[in-house]
Amino acid sequence: MGEEVKEKKPNKYVEGFKGFCTFLYNPDDHTVFGRGGASWGKILIFYFFFYSCLAGFFAVCLTVMLTTIDPKVPTVVGRTNKPMVATYDSRLYTINLKQDSTKFADYKKGINALKALYDSEDQVGKGFTWNENNLGECSNSDNTRNKLIEGQPAQACLYVGLNRIYNWSPPKSEPSDELSFECNWDAGKTGSGNLDPPFTMALEHKVLDYSLTGFYPWTSMEDSGLQPIVAFKIRADATKMPAVEDQDDYKMDTFVVCNAVMKNANGTSIPLEGSRPAEFEIKYDFTIFSE
């Protein structure tokens, strides 16, 4: 009996690759992706006009929509628009006074960026002015330092203001009530914050040449400009420095919470209804007390 001859099966991967190459370009009928030159020409012309019409339709819709929007007045002003205490540069939420960190330089850059924003041409003559009267030593980033320099202790500043809400005014219970801000030491979210850190903190200004309440209601950047801000100066206090033997157990975590308040003629502060506070963190070590 003769030996049975087995037919060799082609490799499916090789055949699949050949089929794919033929799909990319077929030399027999000169097609690319299964289409000849005439077919490609027709489909390109079709999609050119199709997407041109689509783009034109989108442009018309956008133009019509923009004609219904007032550049000064928001289209929707809802009940969720609540006053929120904030600072306008994320680099200012954390003050790192440690000598071995470059973060303090970033903090100073944040102050200069904020100052440049208020000193811009669009802001001149509107509402708040960045000057020494309104911000005291905090008007110049050169007055901040992260160590003792020529007998002057380390100090930094917190800058706070309210967000912009169209046509909103602080609610008054008495005509003499004035919008203000208060900052206090806080335990923080973890509860580990030092409530008596080696710093003093106070509102910093010389003679305020503006009224926070008088700035509102805010209507637009063109009419009202940037909202007013206040500064709180934080200064290292060597009298609060713990003894050497107590420094290992000393709480270094330091947090500050700033709230918006309404002050009446008697100096009593009432929290601003519906407002949300701003939270800050101060990082330091005891090298801030040495030159």
Q: 28-65, pLDDT tens digit by residue?
A: 777 887 777 788 888 889 999 999 999 999 999 999 98
Containing 94, the helix (H) or strand (E) segment is strand 94-96
- Phi, psi (rounded to 5 degrees) for 191: 80, 10
Q: With cut-offs at 50, 70 and 90, classify the pLDDT of residue 139.
A: very high
Q: With cut-offs at 50, 70 and 90, classify the pLDDT of residue 4.
A: low
15 secondary structure, DSSP code: H
Region 242-260 average pLDDT: 83
Q: Which of 238, 219, 239 is nearest to 227 (CA)?
A: 219
Q: With cut-offs at 50, 70 and 90, classify the pLDDT of residue 200.
A: very high
Question: pLDDT value at position 156?
Answer: 94
Cβ proximity of 170 and 262 under 8 Å: yes
Asked whether the bond before 217 is cis by omega within 30 degrees of 0, the reply is yes
91 secondary structure, DSSP code: G
> Which has more pLDDT, 275 or 220?
275
Tokens of 204: 């910093």
Cβ proximity of 233 and 155 under 8 Å: yes
Single-letter amino acid, residue 50: F
Q: What percent of the chain has pLDDT over 70?
A: 91
Model confidence at 166: pLDDT above 60: yes
Q: With cut-offs at 50, 70 and 90, classify the pLDDT of residue 257.
A: very high
CB-based burial of residue 157 (10 Å sphere; 0-12 exposed, 13-18 middle, 19+ buried)? Answer: buried
Q: With cut-offs at 50, 70 and 90, classify the pLDDT of residue 172.
A: confident
Single-letter amino acid, residue 270: I
Q: Encode pLDDT of 121-138 as tens digits.
A: 878 777 788 989 889 999
- Stretch among 57-61, 75-79, 104-108, 153-157 having the lowest mean pLDDT: 75-79
Please, how many CA atoms are within 13 Å of residue 34, restricted to the half-sphere of its CB?
Answer: 4
CA dist., res. 212 & res. 112, Å (int) = 22
- Phi, psi (rounded to 5 degrees) for 118: -80, -20
Strand-pair partners of 257: 184, 279
